[in-house]
Amino acid sequence: MGRQDVILSTGISDSLKAAVERIVHDRLFVLTDETTLRLCWPLVSQLPCVQGAQMITIAPTDENKTLESLAHVWTALQKGGATRRSLLICLGGGMVTDLGGFAASTFKRGIAYINVPTTLLSMVDAAVGGKTGINFGGLKNEVGVFNPANAVILDAEFLRTLDRENLLSGYAEMLKHGLISSTEHWVELLSFDLDNVDYARLTQLVAQSVKVKERIVEEDPHEHGIRKALNLGHTVGHAFESLALEEHRTVLHGYAVAWGLVCELYLSVVRMGFPRDKFYQTRQFIKEHYGQFPFTCKHYPRLLELMAHDKKNLEAGQVNFTLLADIGDIRINQTASREEIEEMLDFYSSEQ
């Protein structure tokens, strides 16, 4: 898998123009969802480099990261006369970059694409690293491929379009990056004022966060080893997210990851000796900003079943976690028994 060209933009006009001109193409397409069409497309629609582009729009939110939406994009590309030399710009959050990247990777066996993430979550997570895919059969990101975008343009101006919930959703992935990198970065993230956002400082933190992910992805592009560090909080988080989707109480991905971090750090304390003071500080930060995911012991069997379906599991019926012995001290491929997982869920639900 090739290395992505990640551009920390100081002006979307010049950055996008340069990225588009580097890719020889016959036709240009722009994928948005209905939300980014309204809020973000106006920020770039008048740029000369996108004049004449054909627009493709899908329904927003993770509920629509489906085979049906994927087929809609393929159909629009086909009807628009796309060839193997065409270019797709994915302008949107993680759902758009995941699905758009998968559509580009598979249409005519692969066309070029550029990610322009417009949410904090997609900037620090979904748009960077080459993972693409859709949800399938009630499971998150069940079908997809590893295929990096030709370029990823990170421009903080888009962050001003976000509401508080979507800002927090992305920040959870940044917090995860802090936990798997260094105590210094973790402290910076816990001390950042999310109630009075300093966008210049946030941009610096985004750049640090992206570097953490880039370093790990470059070392292990296909997730055979250390890249699994990026799954911290996700085994439980994806289970919470899938359960919420089934029960029609959809939650934002970053919120599910934040709740998953509390659970998996608790397991890290029990299994790996993760420092309790750092656990309690992280738990308090998450509780204050993200609240709690409500569930009861009646949900345990389904949550366990969802965890058992997770792609990170090495053997059927086994639940695999990424845990920490300390901040930056990563222990991948850690399995836990049903009893340990239920104890973890007991702890989390007792905190409500």
Residue ranges of domains in the chain: 5-161, 165-350
Q: Exposed, middle or buried by CB within 10 Å (0-12, 13-18, 19+), for 89?
A: buried
Is beta strand 329-335 parallel, antiparallel or unpaired with respect to 320-326? antiparallel
Task: Please give the DSSP secondary-structure letter assigned to residue 223.
Answer: S
Helix (H) or strand (E) holding 326: strand 320-326
Write down the pLDDT at residue 312. Answer: 66
Cα separation of the two ends of the chain: 43
Write down the pLDDT at residue 224. Answer: 80
- Please give the CATH topology (third level) of the domain spanning 5-161: Rossmann fold (3.40.50)
Contact 150, 85 (CB under 8 A): no
Write down the pLDDT at residue 315. Answer: 60
Helix (H) or strand (E) holding 334: strand 329-335
pLDDT, tens digit, 9 for 90 and up, residues 137-170: 988 889 999 999 999 999 988 998 899 999 999 9
Upper half-sphere CA count for residue 15 (Cβ side, 13 Å):
20
Structure tokens at 347: 């702890």
Instruction: Give the Cα separation of 25 and 54 in Å (integer).
Output: 13
Using the predicted structure, report yes or no on whether residue 314 has a pLDDT greater than 70. Answer: no
Instruction: Give the Cα separation of 276 and 255 in Å (integer).
Output: 22
Lowest-pLDDT range of 2-11, 34-43, 239-248: 2-11
In angstroms, the Cα distances linking 280 to 86, 190, 192, 271, 320 are 50, 12, 17, 16, 23
Write down the pLDDT at residue 352. Answer: 58
Q: Domain 165-350: give its CATH code.
A: 1.20.1090.10
Structure tokens at 90: 């994915």
pLDDT, tens digit, 9 for 90 and up, residues 10-27: 899 999 999 999 999 999
Confidence class for position 310, pLDDT limits 50, 70, 90 = confident
Contact 304, 338 (CB under 8 A): yes
Q: Identify the three-state secondary structure at position 324.
A: strand
- C-alpha 234, offset from chain centre: 10
Q: Is 165-350 in the same CATH topology as 5-161?
A: no
Instruction: Give the Cα separation of 169 and 40 in Å (integer).
Output: 18
Upper half-sphere CA count for residue 251 (Cβ side, 13 Å):
25
Q: Helix and strand tally (H, E) in the chain?
A: 13, 10
Lowest-pLDDT range of 71-85, 245-259, 274-288: 245-259
